[in-house]
Amino acid sequence: MGRRFTLAIVSDIHFAGATERARGDDFEFSPIKNPFLRLPLQAYRKIVWMKHPMQQNGQFDRFLAEVPPTDFVIANGDFPCGSAWLGLSDDATFESARECVGRLRARFGEKLHMTLGDHELGKSNLLGERGGLRLQSWQRATGELNLQPFWQLELGNYVLIGVASTLVSLPVYDRDILPAEQNEWLRLRELHLAEIREAFSKLRPEQCVILFCHDPTALPFLWREDAVKSHAEQIEQTIIGHLHSPLYLWKSRLLAGMPAINFLGTNVRRMSRALNEARTWKHFHVRLCPSLAGIELLKDGGYYTAELDAEAKAPAKFQFHPLPR
């Protein structure tokens, strides 16, 4: 038997540090004065999505304690809870992310590779009246936390590539960006795309790619890149997060191709634009790594391990490890 590599894959930890926990589980609802908006949103959050978002740190503790030894660990974005929707520019969110990333590094050391998620950089909330992308979040993520927007790891004939989904899909965040910061965001995006193009253009015929991309909203934009499209047959799997549960992946596939909705706020516009082009996901062979806590309705959280044949003669073998709560 030839050389084999093992991976552990975790996504959407959403760790809440002390300051974020102090905001309480109803942080999203208290500013909403209109009961016709507040009550349906509360019902959705408490029954379907997550009743106690600030009380899920125990799932992270369980992962750190239970994950088996592997050669490498991939954390696929969304480290903090992100209760201000401003990414790491919010001090409380930064505190959460710093503690989470610090614990990951203490546990896994040089084996750890991390991708950026949307909660690191910011976005508007569900109603679209608060939050957004901030350059300070980018600076804190890539500077103080030393998170790499692009990374690449060669394991025999396998190439693992991590990308920053928010940068790739920046056009759908056009209303989340401050006008004074727009040009810098566009510059950062072009630099990031150049790294991605170079990585794909240098692939050898015998190599297989496992792509790590937190938010699948980025995939249609990657599909527009000739360097990616011309090597699509070498993409064996794309590991996404963001959706938290296989239920939402199923719903996304069901709604793929729906028209964009431009009149119900920033967030609905962004999500519907993503779903409008979701049919391109099939080219990337998507596999969802759910959040550690899953969703309230199903409590279907967990993480993956994978085994890779260094010669890539057989597809990677993935095993899901549920963390029921």
The angle subtended at Cα 239 by Cα 233 and Cα 240, nearest 5°, is: 125
Domain definitions of the chain by residue range: 4-16+56-322
pTM of the model as a whole: 0.96
Lookup: tokens for 58: 């125990």
Question: Span 4-16+56-322: which CATH code?
Answer: 3.60.21.10
Residue 124 binned pLDDT confidence (cut-offs 50, 70, 90):
confident
CA distance 279 to 220: 8
- Taking only the tens place, the pLDDT of each residue in 198-240 is 999 999 999 999 999 999 999 999 999 999 999 999 999 999 9
Report which residue type is found at 177: I
Q: What is the 3-state secondary structure (H, E, C) of 125-138?
A: CCCCCCECECHHHH
pLDDT for residue 263: 60
pLDDT for residue 278: 82
pLDDT for residue 28: 80
CA distance 109 to 101: 11
Look at residue 325 and tell me whether its pLDDT is greater than 70: yes
| Residues 6 or more apart in contact with residue 284 via CB below 8 angstroms | 211, 213, 219, 222, 223, 232, 235, 238
pLDDT for residue 100: 99
- Taking only the tens place, the pLDDT of each residue in 254-300 is 888 878 776 656 666 777 777 878 899 999 999 999 999 999 999 99
pLDDT for residue 2: 78
Look at residue 150 and tell me whether its pLDDT is greater than 90: yes
pLDDT for residue 34: 79
**Burial of 212 by CB count in 10 Å (0-12 exposed, 13-18 middle, 19+ buried)?**
buried
Closest CA to 52 of 28, 27, 25: 25
| Residues 6 or more apart in contact with residue 92 via CB below 8 angstroms | 17, 19, 20, 23, 83, 84
Look at residue 1 and tell me whether its pLDDT is greater than 80: no
User: C-alpha 140: how far from its chain's center?
Assistant: 17
pLDDT for residue 127: 64
